[in-house]
Structure 1
Amino acid sequence: MKQALTLTDTQYRNVINFCTTRKHTLRDQTIIHVSFLAGLRAVELAALTVGDVYDDRGAVRSQFTLSSTQTKGAHTRTVYISTKLKRVLKQYRTVLNTRTSTQPLFMTQMHTSFSANTMCQLFLQIYKDFGLRGASSHSGRRTFITKLANTGINVRLLAALAGHRHISTTQRYIDVNDEQLANAVELL
């Protein structure tokens, strides 16, 4: 099966900007950001609750733990929240005023929780409407892993951040392109 498209920084910014044309602008932008800045899968995004991401006072956590029921591999893992993602989540908090800590972080337009499938469909619809071919709910995750790998982050750290039990799985996510190859030989 063909792998999901890894987006460039420009494509990522343009998709975020495109979300301003959508009915649920802030929700859609936040979903895209969490995918790209934390590397979460659609099933994990759909399973997030308000209390996973925000503490009792409504402040964004520095990290949170996905339970085994929230992950694809049925193994708990810690998700670390960057400064950039904290800013995004702080802004998103404004739409969560009446939700309790056990309610879904992201809700459909029918005010129900997303399933993994409906979350995947949301990504596909956004990318299709934007005109981006080959992108899917996994594009943010692949981009997250590839960008970190390009900065020289050790593959074992990447595997831990991605929630992979084997580095061979993580290595399949790392996209290689001509610019990276040219930069690599310049290191000699």
Structure 2
Amino acid sequence: MHDKRDESVTLLIEEFLTARATRKPSPHTLEAYRRDLRTVAALAAEEVSPPLPLDALPVEALTPRVMRAAFARFAAPRAAASVHRAWSTWNSFFSFLVADGVVAGNPMPAVGRPRAPLPQPKPLRGADTPEQLLAAVAREDGRQRDPWPQRDVAVLALALCAGLRLSELLALRVGSLAGRPGERRVEVAGKGGRPRVVPVEPELDQVLVDYLESRARRFGSRTVRPDGALLVDRRGEPLRRGGLQYLVESCYRRAGVGDRVPRGARLHALRHTFATRLAEDGASAAEIMRLLGHASLASSQTYIEVTAGQQRDAVRANRTNRALAALVAADPAARS
């Protein structure tokens, strides 16, 4: 009988990734898992005595001492969030090996990890930027070789008015839009296999209807099947990750708002704008959590905290407050 304990760490990593694939993570996420596992494993292979090539590293060599040394070297040049992510990946890997009977225990509790800071929201800058963006993209641009404003507005509106992630947009089917007029909703295959339902207001519903009608005119009504991808490229093929990112980037350029998009949050800035406006309009952390598909309430709370800070900054900038500050500074009696 084959004993998995004889297999190298690299082979076990691939078995773990195959098992994780049943949860339907994005290819980007799977590659991040592989990178974290192989990078730390290579450092661990240098810590054993004598040092071994990565492909020859046996799993029994991954003792708490070796893992602590490997993670100490891994952490030195990296941010706390990156180290925390790698620690979580390795913890999941060892949990998989324990469940499979490959190792007797998980050494990761003996390996220190930094507390991961919650990422701060990065909405579009400028109070009216979303409206400017939608208005500009809705106009046909004669400089485009094959303009399709209905499709472009639909993509932006789904992110701005439903808060969808890139992977969630790509996973949408035509049949993901459900419900009667006035009660429309979009059924989202969320991150981590967590499905959710987001209400669709009449304005967004009309944008999507206009897009699907324009798509039927372009490619024929038979191509708009319930099981087909909702978002397609100019050839009628399902949009892919790179194509969707390029589409959103081109929308920013056409609207002239590229300087208002936070660095490193091109499409995600639209989702963050949706969440920030929810908080500004009084939504609770629990409501934001459900609508955005967050795994924890803490992630949703950051939008409310940021909004509270923005409100404080606005009050501080009020000209009357500045005049009052000047008055108090000029009149010592006013401070007594």
- Give the TM bin, normalised by the shorter chain: 0.7 to 0.9
Partner of 2:228 in structure 1? 103
Q: Could you tell me how far apart the structure 2 residues matched to 1:110 and 1:93 are?
A: 14
The residue matched to 2:213 in structure 1 has which SS? helix
8 Å CA contact 2:285, 2:300 repeated in 1? yes
Q: 97-106 or 30-39: which moved more?
A: 97-106
Runs of 4+ that moved beyond 6 A = 183-186
Partner letter of residue 185 of structure 2? Q
Q: How many residues align?
A: 181
Partner of 2:206 in structure 1? 87
8 Å CA contact 1:53, 1:60 repeated in 2? no
Partner of 2:129 in structure 1? 11
Partner of 2:331 in structure 1? none
Displacement of 1:164 in angstroms is: 0.4
8 Å CA contact 2:174, 2:229 repeated in 1? yes
Displacement of 1:106 in angstroms is: 1.2
Q: 172-181 or 158-167: which moved more?
A: 172-181
Kindly indicate whether residue 186 of structure 2 is the aligned counterpart of residue 64 of structure 1: yes
Partner letter of residue 135 of structure 2? N
Identity among equivalent pairs (%): 22
Partner of 1:24 in structure 2? 148
Displacement of 1:65 in angstroms is: 2.2
8 Å CA contact 1:6, 1:139 repeated in 2? yes
Partner of 1:163 in structure 2? 293
The structure having more radius of gyration, on CA atoms, is: 2
Which structure: greater helix fraction? 2
Q: Could you tell me how far apart the structure 1 residues matched to 2:247 and 2:182 are?
A: 24
8 Å CA contact 2:172, 2:231 repeated in 1? yes
Displacement of 1:158 in angstroms is: 0.5
Uncovered stretches (5+) of structure 2, i.e. residues with no partner: 1-118, 319-336
Partner of 2:278 in structure 1? 148
C-alpha spacing 1:7/1:48, structure 2 compared with 1 (3 Å):
farther
Partner of 1:75 in structure 2? 194
C-alpha spacing 1:10/1:123, structure 2 compared with 1 (3 Å):
same
Displacement of 1:124 in angstroms is: 2.0
- Within the candidate set 221, 236, 248, 1:123 is matched to 248
Partner of 1:181 in structure 2? 312
8 Å CA contact 1:61, 1:81 repeated in 2? yes
TM-score, normalising length: structure 2: 0.48
Partner of 1:40 in structure 2? 164
Partner letter of residue 33 of structure 1? A
Uncovered stretches (5+) of structure 1, i.e. residues with no partner: none
CA RMSD of aligned residues (A): 2.9
8 Å CA contact 1:50, 1:100 repeated in 2? yes
Q: Deviations over 1:34-65 (max 9, x none)?
A: 1110001111111111111156x9x6861232
Q: Could you tell me how far apart the structure 2 residues matched to 1:76 and 1:178 are?
A: 32
C-alpha spacing 1:115/1:4, structure 2 compared with 1 (3 Å):
farther
Q: Could you tell me how far apart the structure 1 residues matched to 2:154 and 2:178 are?
A: 14
Q: Could you tell me how far apart the structure 1 residues matched to 2:193 and 2:211 are?
A: 28
Q: Could you tell me how far apart the structure 2 residues matched to 1:53 and 1:170 are?
A: 25
